[in-house]
Amino acid sequence: MKLTLEFGGGLELLCDSVKIHHVNVEPQAGESKLTMKHLLSWVRTNLIKERPEMFMKGDSVRPGVLVLVNDCDWELSGQLDTNLEDKDIVVFISTLHGG
Amino acid sequence: MAWIYSFCRLMKASRGTVMTLLKLLKEMKFRPAHLCWHGMGVGAGSVSDAVRKIWYGLPLKVVSYKDLYGWTMDEIVKLIGLKNNCTFCGVFRRQALDRGATLLKVDKLVTGHNADDIAETVLLNILRGDIARLSRCTSITTGEDGPIPRCKPFKYTYEKEIVMYAYFKRLDYFSTECIYSPNAYRGFAREFIKDLERIRPRAILDIIKSGEDFRISTSTKMPEQGNCERCGYISSQKWCKACVLLEGLNRGLPKLGIGRSRGANNELSKNAKEAKGIDSIQSKQCGTLDF
């Protein structure tokens, strides 16, 4: 399914300084729906070109990275279990910075 | 008249907090008079340009370490190495803020410190055993009896809230990394706070509350506030920290003023004997209040 991924707050530096990515991701083999968990590992493998530890810690994003699915905090939709649909917009913003 | 300043911290520096602060102050019909930016070395030029573009129509004054002290962060780091960078930068910046504020004749100085910053500072001061700072670091206003009081309006606002606000209001948001900070001690406190936030988000406010509730025993000896003999800035020692550090830089003694010392004067006299063999660099005076 087609998704739009945005990186902000400095995370774009890990993806060759490209902020917006239009990608095509398929659910895992055997699964009918695409979950955030699968998307995260897909992003780490395919989009993050350097310092993956700045983006992810274990299975989830590094603490301090905000995730918005269609402008809604992913904590409200189940975090890693959030189901994604075609044409969804996922935004990753790092809050680890000065002001 | 208020004077707003943006603080560069740690791994990444973004102007999100100050932009949010400015926008809110404008909405509240405050009349912020000046925005002062701090040039900090590599990349400072590009950041200043970016700030110049999005300052919400406020007058902008750029102040640099080179102008005030005669040293840029790049030059300092070349001399001292990759450790203790935050010590130099932090001390110089704090003074630069005050000197710039005096120059602009402002009434109040407002910074963008948020709840996460304050919680980190409380933890840092506990880890370092710095009682004096621990008693002061949670005050929302400081220096009321001095010439320029300071205030931290975002003291209870989570960094996450500020980022979300900036994102949804489509505020111009840009990040530059502070290249000297990878080894900063604050980074450890920050990691810990972020892990805590994930488990129990209220922990950040709780740490701040604990910091506010600390009571120092009356028998503890606290440093007394006086004035620096060299430049007149407030100081609890004979010389203010900036003068001590600057003296170290000018004499090629990068360790001067770093680490545990029993006062600036012991170190100065000890190092004066070592320094006799070193070629003297033309002494650069620490900035004075008559700027």
Residues of A in contact with B9 (CB under 8 A): 97-99
- Chain A residue numbers with beta carbons less than 8 Å from the beta carbon of B25 are none
Distance, CA of B213 to CA of B206 (rounded, Å): 10
Assign B3 to helix, strand or coil: strand
Retrieve residue A71's tokens: 């402008």
Amino acid at A9: G
State residue B229's pLDDT score: 87
pLDDT value for B28: 62
Q: What is the pLDDT of residues A44-93, one digit of tens each?
A: 999 988 888 888 888 888 888 999 999 999 989 988 889 999 999 999 99
CB contact under 8 A, A99 and B7: yes
Closest in B7, B14, B163 to A66, CB measured: B163
**Chain A residues in contact with B22 (beta carbon < 8 A):** none
CB contact under 8 A, A98 and B159: no
Contact A97 B173 (CB under 8 A): no
Chain B residues bordering chain A (beta-carbon distance below 8 Å) = 6-18, 20-21, 112-114, 117, 154, 159-160, 162-164, 167-168, 173, 175, 177-178, 190-191, 194-195, 197-198
User: Would the pLDDT of A30 be above 70?
Assistant: yes
Nearest to B228 by CA among B218, B239, B215: B239
Q: Which two tokens stand for residue B172?
A: 């111009």
Q: Which residue has the tokens 């996922």?
A: A90
CA–CA min distance A69, chain B (Å): 13
Instruction: Identify all chain A residues contacting B194, using CB atoms and an 8 Å cutoff.
Output: 62-64, 96
The candidate with the shortest Cα–Cα distance to B6, out of B35, B47, B45, is: B35
CA nearest neighbour of B187 among B111, B137, B133, B127: B127
A2-94: CATH class: alpha beta
Using only C-alpha atoms, what is the Rg of chain B? 19
Q: Is A89 on the interface with B (CB under 8 A)?
A: no
Spatial separation of the C-alpha atoms in residues B41 and B78, rounded to whole Å: 12
Q: Where are the domains of chain A?
A: 2-94
Query: What are the pLDDT tens digits along chain B (291 aa)?
Result: 334 444 333 223 334 566 666 666 666 655 554 555 554 443 344 455 555 555 566 666 777 888 888 888 888 888 888 888 888 888 888 888 888 888 888 888 888 889 999 999 999 999 988 888 888 888 888 888 778 888 999 999 998 888 888 888 888 766 666 777 777 888 888 889 999 998 999 999 999 999 999 888 888 888 888 888 888 888 888 888 888 888 888 888 878 778 765 444 444 444 444 444 333 333 334 443 333
Chain A, 47 to 76: residues with Cβ < 8 Å from chain B are 62-64, 66, 68, 71, 73
Interface predicted TM-score (ipTM) of this complex, two decimals: 0.86
